[in-house]
Chains A and B, each alone.
Chain A
Amino acid sequence: DIVMTQSPDSLAVSLGERATINCKSSQSVLYSSNNKNYLAWYQQKPGQPPKLLIYWASTRESGVPDRFSGSGSGTDFTLTISSLQAEDVAVYYCQQYYSTPPVTFGQGTRLEIK
């Protein structure tokens, strides 16, 4: 099974500042035949289901603000919020879909306002 490890577990950032969340996979999730990283990011606010933000490691889902961006390749990935807004307070998860079953998620990173 591919283990996904996020860092940090929690993060406090001032409004308007940059937030960076990391995700590391125990093996590469880059498929060489199509050069795609099989990695997605989700945002989960309290009492709500997860919401898809990014897939293929860097493709923003329709309707997601452009302050959210994903980067990385192979085993190391980053979700960046360029200018933190109050509504971005949430828990963020990465997920690999390269080697399934099982689908695996990171443990989550809690983002708060400083």
Chain B
Amino acid sequence: QVQLVQSGAEVKKPGASVKVSCKVSGYTLTELSMHWVRQAPGKGLEWMGGFDPEDGETIYAQKFQGRVTMTEDTSTDTAYMELSSLRSEDTAVYYCATDRGEGWFDPWGQGTLVTVSS
């Protein structure tokens, strides 16, 4: 059974970058398609991007292109999401989630709260 464990909460200043990790267990990262979804306080779910196995590439939501980078370290089965040029509106819980090739997300990591504040 797949389990995803994310890194801890972060506090960043505006303009800085944050890198959140997501450690996979139960499967290898190469067997999964990893995605990232964020949720601002009291708001809904927003897809940021993820791996498209048909193209073999990571695809980013247009809103985040140029500011987000999603990478994987297959030697440690850990996925990373780095978001740069942070602003207060990026304050949110960031989730990793796997797509088992069908399109829905299961399971999800526990979430990482990123707070952007001066």
Contacts and interface: CB of A to CB of B under 8 A. Distances in A.
Interface SS, A side: loop
Given A104-B47, A107-B44, A49 B108 contact: yes
Nearest to B63: A102
Interface stretch (B8-16, B24-32, B76-84, B99-107): B99-107
Interface bin, chain B = 20 to 34
Nearest to A101: B59
Contact of A55 (B35, B59, B104, B109): B104
Interface residues of A, number: 22
Contact of A105 (B45, B99, B108): B45
A38 B102 CA distance: 9
A49 B35 contact: no
B110 interface: yes
Interface of B: 35, 44-47, 49-50, 52, 59-62, 95, 97, 99, 102-111
